[in-house]
């Protein structure tokens, strides 16, 4: 089995401004400072096509259930990978994302898009969580979907606040 997740948020800034912030070292620093998630830039590469690939190491959130602790990295960190393409003819930027949980039998990832909407942008994130642990996989997937959706909402609020100010 696997569980799907979705997030949708309007952001009061242009697609270009949102992408510029989301793919910047400044964004990693903002998350570390304001969200206290220990974000650290692992790598950032601007591609010849105008897209950007980045990897960010971050701390796992508090509150992991005991039944999952033995499957998680001892250092309590995961690496989030994002790859954003250049804007297409309609001004839409598409990307992919994944979370690497060292040693855990889990896959988390999906797609994202930013598109012009009114005077700002619409960000859509879709993904899937798959945990390959007999008997508790479904419970673990539900927990992880909830965690990812809460993190997305927190990051989206910071993104909107930063770009509006």
C-alpha span between 114 and 19 (Å, rounded): 8
pTM attached to this predicted model: 0.90
> Where in the chain are the domains?
3-164
Per-residue confidence (pLDDT) for residue 14, from 0 to 100: 95
Per-residue confidence (pLDDT) for residue 60, from 0 to 100: 81
Which class would CATH give 3-164?
A: alpha beta
For the chain, list residues with pLDDT below 50. Answer: none
Per-residue confidence (pLDDT) for residue 102, from 0 to 100: 87
| Token pair for 96 | 């992919």
């Amino acid at each position: 089995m696997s569980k799907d997740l979705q997030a949708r948020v309007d952001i009061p800034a242009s697609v270009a401004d949102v992408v510029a912030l989301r793919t910047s070292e400044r964004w990693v620093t903002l998350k570390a400072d304001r969200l206290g998630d220990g974000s650290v830039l692992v790598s950032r590469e601007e591609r010849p096509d105008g897209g950007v690939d980045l990897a960010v190491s971050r701390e796992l959130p508090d509150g992991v259930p005991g039944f999952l602790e033995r499957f998680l990295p001892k250092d309590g960190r995961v690496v989030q990978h994002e790859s954003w393409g250049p804007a297409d003819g309609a001004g839409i930027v598409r990307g992919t994302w994944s979370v690497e949980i060292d040693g855990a039998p889990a896959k988390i990832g999906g797609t994202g898009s930013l598109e012009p909407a009114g005077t700002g942008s619409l960000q859509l994130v879709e993904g899937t969580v798959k945990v390959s642990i007999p008997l508790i996989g479904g419970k673990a997937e539900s927990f992880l979907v909830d965690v990812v959706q809460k993190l997305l909402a927190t990051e989206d609020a910071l993104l909107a606040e930063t770009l509006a100010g």
